Amino acid sequence: MLTFKLLDKISTDYSGYNQLGKFYNFCLAYNNTKIHIDFTNIEWFDGNMCALLLAMLYSLERSNNLLFETEYGIIKEKFNVLFRNGFLRDSNEIVDDRKSTVPVMAFDCNAKDEFCNYVDHELLSHRGMPDNLDNNLKERIYEDLLEVFCNTNHHANTKDPFFVGGQYYPRIGILKFSMVDLGDGFLNRVSKATGGEVTSHLESIIWALAGNSSKLILDQTPGSLGIRSMYKYCAENKGVMQIVSGDGFWSSEYANTIFEEGRVITSPFRGTTINLIFKK
């Protein structure tokens, strides 16, 4: 049987994304078969990155008719968070008694009410969210996330599900939250909106972060500013925002470094991934 060995750490960063990207691109070469995912040599797995892995599995199952298997015993021993957050399930349910996960889920693109309920009850009410999160800030984050979700159907041009999940680390007071869509990414619409002036994935991410709106230019309607608003929130509250689209990886942590304009992903995936890191 075909086997892919995950290695090192699957963290919420450039390296972690590339690790999962290598898995995805390896699998793309095969059709109508089963692939074993080997977790033996992984040292760490951020629970929120399950949203990205789930999106990859969904995509590969449908595009290449692939099936996947893994050794549940090893994962329960080393990374039971993958059961506690709902990414994996078996007959022996593992309860998240630590209250450290934000469930990994996939929402149909039309499931607005269900997504709103998830954001309200699973994310914004989580014990790992910042202590200064008053009602005004909650409403701001709620509206920004809802706009990202709703724009998936319109901007990203996809009917595929929207994948989410999060993980809280109480010892360091950080909650990491990931959102993944399987659409066109940023570049297609931004290139159209700029008359072809923007030609790379990284340029398209930076264009959107600057507060530009492809919706305003192409559709003559206001909107598409949720990403800019989330970026401002992170900057004002010591948080971190990461955006991955096409082969572009941008992170607010890269400010004032040689990677300030972002980095090129060597093993890209479809659509767009947005990671938010909230500091308590």
CB contact at 8 A, 124 and 276: no
Q: What is the pLDDT of residue 219?
A: 65
Alpha helices in the chain (DSSP H): 14-27, 50-64, 72-78, 81-84, 112-118, 135-154, 187-193, 201-209, 214-219, 226-236
Per-residue model confidence as pLDDT tens digits over 128-165: 999 999 999 999 999 999 999 988 876 677 889 999 99
Per-residue model confidence as pLDDT tens digits over 215-225: 767 666 655 56
Domain 2-279, CATH: 3.30.565.10
SS3 85: coil
CA distance 31 to 263: 31
The residue ranges of the chain whose pLDDT is under 50 are none
The amino acid at 99: K
What pTM was computed for the model? 0.95
